[in-house]
């Protein structure tokens, strides 16, 4: 057992100075207090904040970040659907060993940036061309192993993928994602849950549907209407205008309205993006208790559109942030992006503030933390007794931080972000990031070996 001292800590919406945490030998919290007179075994000159939950990640896409920012000569139009073609090439090429090396490296980087938990949206279920692996859960095992090595709290969300679009059979390039029916998918969920229980007990298993275009309505209703695991339920929804238009054309109703009227949307459910909402859908979603997972830098990169952030927030809607395609790994950039977009639209500043909550960074952080914990399926509050200790240590001597009042710290993180503001990170009860660098970053050989094979497959056909 040991006591750790921090200069200050942001706890339950306010700063505590000083702050002490007592840990058992496994790194679990036994006590927290601002008043401790006994011996201290470890002391940090740092400001402690909760680690941020990453509500949506496709780890394999880390390889292609920045490589799709060109078009072929003679083609001036580019959009999500062209980007998806390049992404499919990578998705169909990556091997289990390559996924392990890439995901481990990525998860280490997530921790360096302040994420301490992640919901991994998983659909690389099968081998090349849809061939079965010797073990159905082989790619899931890889993701569990990567999280265990990096020491990030993983919520694995294996999702159902059954069709290319409403009424259209699966395409060749989607066969790696494919389940023939819900029975086979639910069996896979059972097998994955059993695997986690035995070999990766700190991980959580969720469930869901890839998107509203990727499954028949009766399958979506079945999967979303029952808590198949202890974890959260996720799906992409209304990301692109084309998604909405094709759904309306096929079924005669808007997608979010259909979900609200035909599934028991609630605190367990997470809708990724939900970009294109009309006011009725926005209000239905806000009242449902479901969480919208916003991935602003990815959404901007892909040209998705602009989520009605201010109105949704004022409706009391729950939201979290995610790194999605990994073009940005700083969670505070993701938090600030919707507010900054709203400022541009309204030509005003600090658009979220009210008489009750008047510090923008605090509002963003509190909302992203609350919604994020729902997105990864964490029920207990930050620093709950019995939980493995996790936290992000901010450097009080950094040029952007030194001398500033405590109540400006979260706003500085959001609106003046720099990589080296984060000094150290605890995750899974262990100090894993020291002086800004993860302990596993000393060896990059396996990661670089994976890049050597995969990058030519992406870049040879891009643009």
Q: Which residues are catalytic?
A: 273, 324
In which element (H, E) is residue 10 found?
A: strand 2-11
Instruction: Give the number of other Cβ atoms within 10 Å of residue 72's Cβ.
Output: 11
Note whether 18 and 7 are within 8 A (CB).
Answer: yes
Rounding to the nearest 10 degrees, give the CA dihedral for residues 413, 414, 419, 425. 60
Q: Where are the beta strands (DSSP E) in 330-443?
A: 391-394, 422-427, 430-434, 437-438
Our measurement of the distance from residue 391's CA atom to the centroid of its chain's CA atoms, rounded to an integer in Å, reads: 17
Nearest residue to 461 (alpha-carbon basis) of 86, 88, 78, 95: 86
Sign, Cα dihedral of 106, 108, 114, 119: positive
Residue 452: partners with Cβ closer than 8 Å, 6 or more residues away: none
Stated length of the chain: 463
One DSSP character per residue, 282-347 reads HHHHHHHT-EEEE-HHHHHHHT-----HHHHHHTT-EEEE--BTSS---HHHHHHHHHHHHHHHHT
Residue 297: partners with Cβ closer than 8 Å, 6 or more residues away: 324, 327, 328, 333, 334, 337
Nearest residue to 209 (alpha-carbon basis) of 240, 172, 178: 178
- Tokens 């000393």, residue located: 442
Note whether 46 and 9 are within 8 A (CB).
Answer: no
């Amino acid at each position: 057992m040991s006591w750790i001292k921090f200069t200050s800590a942001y706890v339950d919406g306010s700063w505590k100075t000083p702050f002490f945490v007592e840990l058992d030998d496994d790194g679990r919290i036994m006590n927290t207090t601002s008043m401790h007179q006994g011996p201290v075994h470890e002391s940090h000159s740092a400001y402690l904040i909760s680690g941020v939950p990453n509500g949506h990640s496709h780890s394999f896409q880390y390889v292609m970040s920045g490589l799709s920012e060109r078009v072929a000569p003679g083609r001036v139009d580019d959009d999500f659907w062209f980007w998806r073609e390049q992404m499919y090439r990578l998705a169909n090429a990556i091997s289990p060993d390559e996924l392990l090396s890439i995901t481990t490296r990525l998860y280490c980087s997530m921790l360096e940036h302040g994420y301490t938990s992640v919901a991994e949206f998983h659909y690389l279920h099968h081998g090349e061309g849809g061939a079965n692996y010797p073990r159905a859960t082989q790619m899931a095992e890889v993701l569990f192993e990567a999280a265990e090595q990096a020491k990030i709290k993983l919520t694995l969300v294996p999702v159902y993928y059954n069709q290319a679009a409403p009424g259209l059979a699966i395409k060749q390039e989607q066969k790696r994602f494919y389940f023939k029916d819900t029975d086979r998918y639910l069996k896979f969920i059972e097998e994955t849950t059993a695997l986690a229980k035995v070999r990766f007990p700190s991980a959580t298993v969720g469930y869901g549907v890839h998107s509203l275009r990727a499954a028949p309505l009766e399958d979506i209703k079945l999967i979303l209407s029952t808590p198949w695991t202890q974890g959260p339920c996720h799906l992409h929804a209304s990301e692109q205008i084309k998604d909405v238009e094709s759904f309306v054309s096929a079924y005669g109703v808007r997608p979010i309205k259909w979900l609200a009227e035909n599934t028991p949307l609630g605190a367990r459910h997470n809708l990724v993006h939900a970009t294109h909402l009309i006011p009725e859908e926005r209000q239905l979603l806000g009242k449902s208790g479901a969480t919208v997972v916003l991935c602003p830098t990815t959404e901007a990169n892909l040209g998705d559109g602009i989520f009605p952030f201010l109105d949704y927030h004022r409706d009391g809607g729950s939201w979290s942030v995610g790194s999605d395609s990994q073009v940005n790994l700083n969670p505070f950039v993701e938090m600030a992006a919707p507010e900054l977009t709203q400022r541009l639209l309204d030509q005003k500043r600090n658009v979220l503030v009210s008489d009750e909550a008047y510090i923008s960074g605090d509002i963003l952080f509190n909302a992203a933390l609350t919604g994020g914990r729902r997105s990864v399926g964490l029920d207990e509050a930050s620093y709950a007794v019995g939980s493995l200790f996790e936290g992000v240590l901010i450097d009080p001597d950094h040029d952007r931080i030194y001398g500033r009042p405590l109540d400006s710290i979260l706003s500085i993180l959001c609106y003046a972000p720099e990589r080296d503001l984060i000094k150290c990170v605890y995750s899974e009860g262990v100090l894993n990031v020291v002086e800004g660098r993860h302990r596993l970053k000393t060896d990059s050989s396996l990661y670089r070996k994976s890049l050597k094979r995969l990058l030519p497959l992406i870049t040879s056909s891009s643009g």
